[in-house]
Structure 1
Amino acid sequence: MSDIDLDSARPIFIAECRELLASMESALLRLPQEADKDRRDSVHGIFRAAHTIKGSAGIFGMEDIVSFAHAMESVLDHVRDGVLPIGDDLIALLLACADHLGQLVDSVAENQAQPDAELVHDARPLLAQLNQRLLAVRMQRSPGAGDAPQRKAPAAPRQTGADHWHISLRFGRDVLRFGMDPLSFLNYLQRLGRITTLVTLHGDVPLLDGLDPEACYLGFEVALESSAPLSAIEGTFKFVMDDCEVGILPPGSPVADHLTLMRERARGDPAELQRLRAIWLHCASVAPEALDEIAAAATKPAPAQPVPAPAAQPAAAPAPAPATVRARRTGPRPGEASTVRVDADKLDRLVDLVGELITASASATMAGRGLRSAALQEAHEALALLVQEVRDSALQLRMVKIGATFNRFHRVVYDAARDLGKDIALEISGEDTELDKSLVEKIADPLTHLVRNAMDHGIEPPALRLAAGKPAQGTIRLNAYHHSGSIVIEISDDGAGLSRERIIGRARSQRLLDPGREPSEAEVFALIFEPGFSTADAITSLSGRGVGMDVVKRNITALRGSVSLASRSGQGTTVTVRLPLTLAIINCFLIGVGGSVFVLPMDVVEECIDFIDPGANDYTELRGQVLPFIRLRRLFGVQDTPPRRQSLVVVGHGSQRFGLVVDRLLGETQTVIKPLARLFAHLRGISGSSILGSGEVALILDVAALADITRAAMVSRSPAAAAAEPVHQG
């Protein structure tokens, strides 16, 4: 493979390594809770991940990654054998090693060549710990016993019985280029049983002038003594199945199956069939008297029908069906998803173009209406439907499940619990909930802070939990679900909860609350998100410096989202984050105030009714419930005379409902969201802008900010009106 090919393949290598490291970390964190059988499967998966990373790095000549992954692989090999017990200390070491591999891979992603030399030097303490465990294994073994498994070399024909598997391997030319080591598959077979005979076939190796050093020309005939099932033996070759020929004959297979496999390997060459007969004499699990029949059959043409087992064959229990795997499968296997890796930048560019297409389509529709052509309007409507389908498909390409983000927190909780000396479990639900990939990337840091804050401030030490009648193990729950066109993420704990009195006292001491004022519960919990606010008595490695929660709110608000908090003393705290499903294109409802047009996300609009002005009040009654409202004219300082007839748009945000008083209802459309420039970042109630089909600029209303305004107005109004609070009941 040329240097150019390697350069183009390196991003694929980096992406694959990151996926393997993520699966390795997830499997390591599951080990303490798994049963023995599941634990063995997880250890095998961790070993395969380390081995694949080592092989892939070898293709690119990244020897530092190869050597480090090899040390991990050697330790994991002994774990698979049951020689090394897998305890908390070893899990912590392997997690640290996986982190270091991730840093090496990230360094390669930045340098596009070799890992950073300082990172390689930093690996020495980890390598020393791995080598200590390998040394301990050697010390446990009897003197003279090596690490490598012993293998018999047959000096004479073996009297085979019916207790061996026969495995016929022919590796494809490209397996070395794909980072696969043929010997590693043979070593893995040793874990399933004992290789009693191994014959290496090297007849296809060309002369030196025709030799490709990156190609594989080897084949193997293997006799394996094992009680493993067929699925386990087939699984050995799962990663190379598309690039090799594998024939597997179970113990007790009839002679006809051996003859069929031999003919398949010989490909019609009688001399090759005779040579294979000599090899079969050593390897095949066939009764000795049947070998002569195979030799005789070598000179006969292949029968039209499968050769039946001879009558003289000794009676035996029914043998398993032969498991000959045909050469080189093409296309996806049944049930296997066909996927293509696409650059995120290309998807972003596609969504941007679809957004421009929506704007152009709206302009064309308006122009068509002006011409009063029924045929043209019909064509534009068909075009608009197609554009909408293209939009939905393009956005769906960027939708990813939030489970990948949630699963990262297993490691966060594991590490933090060890640092804090607490016993904390993480429960995840709603991991299949989808949201825009750009949101996933931007929400990870705020969620990390909220989870760490819950572990530090929320979950009590085991002794305090037991004294309070709780289980010693605390629980943090992550949940996600769709609601009203948004994604809702809940971070909850069963810890001590928040003390209202303590928050008020700390707020007064920090002059965040006016003396003598009694805030509502919502206002008290909102203080948590004020800059510099903290109730921690001591600074820890996780929190307590009074920074972070305000940043969390600011980052979530920048995503057109909102964050709220609910807590009960002694029972726990829940933080609710609400985000839009996408940051690019939305279905929306247009409203007019004065000469301006504003945009509301369609998902929050519940109904539109005629507005009957109640006078000076900022709330009205809607079907027996109090409904606060905002006069957008007053909020945005529109000075001209309002029309005689106005409308009230009822909006839902979470569990809160409120109204917006507008001059005109302009109907539904689609729009592309454009961010506001920094000059307008201070505007309250505005989250972005959009360009309409007419070329006008429309401002997108920030529903979360408007909800805060109405909530504050409800709290500050007269006590008699405040008593009727069903506005929060939806």
Structure 2
Amino acid sequence: MSNPDPISVFRTEAAELLEQIESGLLDLTRNLADRDQVDAVFRGLHTLKGSGAMFGFDALAAFTHHCETAFDRVRKGEVPATHELVSAVLSAQDHMRALLETPNGDHDAVSAALLENLQRAVDGAGASPAAAIDATGASAGAEGMLREWRISFCLPTNAMVNGTNPLALLDELRALGECRIVADTSAVPPLEALDPREIHLAWTVTLKTAHGRSEIEDVFIFVMDEMTLEITETGAETPRASATVVPAAKPVSIVPADPGQSAGTADAKQAKPASAENVRVPAERLDEMMDRVGELVIAQSRLTQLAGADADLGLRSVSEEIERLSGELRDTMMVLRMMPVASLFSRFRRLVHDLSRETGKEIELITEGESTEVDKTVIDRLADPLVHLVRNSIDHGLETPDDRVAAGKPPKGRVVLSAHQTGGEVIITIKDDGRGINRERVRAKAEASGLVQPGVALTDQELLQLIFQPGFSTAQQVTNLSGRGVGMDVVKKTVEALRGTIDITSRPGEGSEVALRIPLTLAIIDGLLVRVGRGRYVIPLSAVEECLELSIEEDLRSRGRSFISLRDSLVPFLRLRELFRTGTQPDPYQKVVVISTGTERVGLVVDQIIGDHQTVIKSMSKLHHDVVTFSGATILGDGSVALILDVAHLVAAGQQQEAQLRAAG
């Protein structure tokens, strides 16, 4: 197996650093005085700059240096953190992504404009009087006196493997002033057990310097989160004029320590808990492994079928064991592919921040159920639809602060992103407390566009679903956010491609809520295998409510109305034999499989219910992309193909048939 490309690894880690920086900046907007967030953003920028220079991304390192300098001034109290400064660094962070992706591109003009904006933000912030006094006092003290510090540290054993050079850290400390270094060798193992790639030393450094604690901490900024570090000021002060500074060319004095001298440091090193081991795996390898598990499930289904037709008890025993193991492997693989929706929701903090500044609206983003897990493919595909829905809520739903106050609402609007799991699907909801959907305007726009004939009666849900039609928009004018009628139809197509559905509710003056119901996984599902005529089909088990028997008498009695009575409620049903034009006679005792999506229910009439089936989903070919009745196919144990029914489409067809029957009646 080939070694990973270092540049590719750096790009991945740099992208994570940029996400951490963005998250820290957005957290800082809530509390500009949060020192921890200021330090976190500074460390992220410092690490990105150093790593970029190390891997040859000189333009990225040079640009990031200016942002780092700005936050270093904030960290030292020279300038306060302001919303303008945070916004300037957020814009600069977007440019860092471009420098990361295309390091050889022509970015000079954009870089210059962003740096000018950053300088204006820093100059506009100015230095607070208290900070200026503190800085002056500290500087005056530093001019006349040297302070003595005791620095004890030990690095993780794998530090050198990860690229950390202990001698370079000691050289940086020496550059700060006069230092005496003592090495603790008490944790060094015997020679036969020594691994030259590991570090077993600890160090105690006595440093006389005019610099403060922050400059000393900066030496360890790349490894601070993984090491044990203790910095103590001894209190000794020496006039600067009498200080003896170690020349740069003079070698560092390293004195072996007594075994008991630095026992505390060694104990701290031994007592440090081992960090959790995580392995970075490319998504393509997970997809490939999922394909192999799918093939194994198909082979296991074939083995089960053969064993069931054979009287050999040994073969049956092996078949049952393989079935158990393949089921456990499938469940394990599913867990590996699951990701918390927090990774999806976190992207919208920046979007809401930018839209708030662009529209002049005060917006609060609230996220709930971030620990809910969904298949990674679902996470990837839902990113764009959720962007459209959030932008739509902010532009069409939320009012301006003045309008909200006039309506008796708080000036700050709320957008709530939530997720929770129910059965085999996850429901992701986008809710706002804005003005709600103007149904009269939707109706007028639909009639003007020819989507609805004047005077035709529509249910509230049918009327609201019109906003997902291509080209539909109720915006009065085209803006950067909306007005072109593009976006909401993309949401519907994407959700339906994921075998999901969309529910929408709205209350005038109170707000709107859009709920996306998405399957937990798109790879392997539990299905109900049924027979219609000579063909076999799979119904996703998560959508099945119950199964009923439909006798010949009930079948004849329901001709022309296609309803069954189910606990005092009428449920429309579809005869799949007629829908699929099988050309066969119905079985004497047909079955009705009642399926549901949310509050809507439809019955499917089939000839036989064969049983449950682990379904490995295979996508349809491009030639069948317009066949909306089926969402995919699967291979059965005997090698034949069974089509997977698209539940959302069948429910919609049943509801349409119900509306037609009621209109005719």
What TM-score do the two structures reach when normalised by structure 1?
Answer: 0.77
Q: CA deviation at 1:98?
A: 1.1
**What is the aligned partner in structure 2 of residue 665 from structure 1?**
609
Which of 53, 66, 80 is equivalent to 1:85? 80
> Quick check: which has more Rg, 1 or 2?
1
CA shift digits 1:279-318 (9 cap, x unpaired): xxxxxxxxxxxxxxxxxxx9xx867xx89xxxxxxxxxxx
Rounded to whole Å, the distance in 2 between the matches of 1:429 and 1:378 is 47
Q: CA deviation at 1:556?
A: 1.4
**What is the aligned partner in structure 2 of residue 603 from structure 1?**
542
Change (3 A) 1:687 1:244: closer
Rounded to whole Å, the distance in 1 between the matches of 2:172 and 2:358 is 40
Which of 624, 635, 656 is equivalent to 2:579? 635
Q: CA deviation at 1:636?
A: 1.5
CA shift digits 1:478-534 (9 cap, x unpaired): 011111201111011111111222111111111110222111111101111111111
Which of 179, 189, 193 is equivalent to 1:199? 179
Change (3 A) 1:179 1:79: farther
Q: CA deviation at 1:116?
A: 2.8
Change (3 A) 1:470 1:358: same
Q: CA deviation at 1:628?
A: 2.0
* Maintained 8 Å contact 1:400/1:437: yes
* Maintained 8 Å contact 2:154/2:265: no
Q: Output the amino acid matched with 2:305.
A: M
CA shift digits 1:37-85 (9 cap, x unpaired): xx11111100010011111112112211111111111100111122212
Rounded to whole Å, the distance in 2 between the matches of 1:519 and 1:558 is 26
Using the TM superposition, name which of 134-143 and 597-606 deviates more: 134-143
Q: CA deviation at 1:371?
A: 2.1
* Maintained 8 Å contact 1:249/1:324: no
**What is the aligned partner in structure 2 of residue 697 from structure 1?**
641
Rounded to whole Å, the distance in 2 between the matches of 1:8 and 1:513 is 57
CA shift digits 1:136-188 (9 cap, x unpaired): 86999999x99x97896999xx9x9xxx751145789949944997499869x
Q: Output the amino acid matched with 2:30.
A: Q
Rounded to whole Å, the distance in 1 between the matches of 2:255 and 2:381 is 61
Superposition map of 1:381-460 within 5 A: 381-460=320-399
| Unaligned stretches of 5+ residues in structure 2 | 184-198, 237-250
Superposition map of 1:118-517 within 5 A: 118-132=106-120, 166-168=150-152, 174=160, 177-178=163-164, 182=169, 198-199=178-179, 220-222=205-207, 237=220, 239-240=222-223, 324=265, 334=273, 336-517=275-456
Change (3 A) 1:68 1:442: same
**What is the aligned partner in structure 1 of residue 36 from structure 2?**
41
Rounded to whole Å, the distance in 2 between the matches of 1:638 and 1:52 is 66
The secondary structure found in structure 1 opposite 2:106 is helix
* Maintained 8 Å contact 2:152/2:230: yes
Q: Output the amino acid matched with 2:623.
A: L
Q: CA deviation at 1:11?
A: 2.1
Change (3 A) 1:55 1:416: same
* Maintained 8 Å contact 1:592/1:662: yes
Q: CA deviation at 1:128?
A: 2.5
Q: Output the amino acid matched with 2:28.
A: L
Q: CA deviation at 1:454?
A: 0.7
CA shift digits 1:627-656 (9 cap, x unpaired): 222211122222111111111112232222
| Unaligned stretches of 5+ residues in structure 1 | 108-114, 204-214, 254-271, 278-297, 308-321, 722-730
**What is the aligned partner in structure 2 of residue 111 from structure 1?**
none
**What is the aligned partner in structure 1 of residue 489 from structure 2?**
550
Q: CA deviation at 1:238?
A: 7.5
The secondary structure found in structure 2 opposite 1:376 is helix
Change (3 A) 1:106 1:471: same
Quick check: 1:26 aligned with 2:23?
A: yes
Q: CA deviation at 1:14?
A: 1.3
RMSD of equivalent CA atoms: 4.1
The secondary structure found in structure 2 opposite 1:324 is helix
Q: Output the amino acid matched with 1:30.
A: D
- Identity within the alignment, %: 37
Matched length: 623
Rounded to whole Å, the distance in 2 between the matches of 1:150 and 1:425 is 45
Q: Output the amino acid matched with 2:363.
A: I
Q: CA deviation at 1:30?
A: 1.8
The secondary structure found in structure 1 opposite 2:265 is strand
Q: Output the amino acid matched with 1:648.
A: V
Change (3 A) 1:238 1:649: farther
Rounded to whole Å, the distance in 1 between the matches of 2:596 and 2:351 is 35
Rounded to whole Å, the distance in 2 between the matches of 1:237 and 1:275 is 19
* Maintained 8 Å contact 1:56/1:179: no
**What is the aligned partner in structure 2 of residue 94 from structure 1?**
89
* Maintained 8 Å contact 1:248/1:324: no
Rounded to whole Å, the distance in 1 between the matches of 2:642 and 2:364 is 47
